[in-house]
Amino acid sequence: MFNAIKRFFGNGEFDCDDVVNHSSAYIDNDLKPDLRSAFQPHLSKCGPCQTFVGTLSSTIVALGKLPGISAPSALKQSLVDRIRWENSSLLWRSRSSGY
């Protein structure tokens, strides 16, 4: 929120924190046009941000080349059981508190 206010009163460009926060969306071409137009000027003139985005992009590509693995079925069942327990616990708490 603070960064949005800064951009509103500033020149509209991103700073390094903004680049870090929006790099994944930028790499995936999921950044809205107005955000992309604020992102690109900063990236074009900031060496550390260019390095960060390049490294993140390379890491994503490298991780995408790794073979997929499956979690053991016991782990999957444990997670499902835990989620069900937490959901029922939340439901019980919301009912007992009158909400």
**Domain ranges for the chain:** 2-68, 71-99
The stretch 31-36 carries a mean pLDDT of: 92
The answer, yes or no, to whether residue 56 has pLDDT greater than 80, is: yes
pLDDT reported for residue 5: 60
* Cβ atoms of 21 and 49 closer than 8 Å: no
Tell me if the pTM is above 0.75. no
Using one digit for the tens of pLDDT, what is the confidence trace for 64-92?
A: 999 988 989 999 999 999 999 988 876 66
The answer, yes or no, to whether residue 58 has pLDDT greater than 60, is: yes
Using one digit for the tens of pLDDT, what is the confidence trace for 10-33?
A: 566 789 999 999 999 999 999 999
List Cβ neighbours of 13 (8 Å cut-off, separation of 6 or more). Answer: 7, 38, 41, 42
Q: Rounded to whole angstroms, what are the CA distances from 74 to 78, 79, 80, 83, 88? A: 6, 9, 10, 14, 21
* Cβ atoms of 30 and 54 closer than 8 Å: no
List Cβ neighbours of 36 (8 Å cut-off, separation of 6 or more). Answer: 26
Of 49, 51, 48, nearest in space to 22 by CA: 49
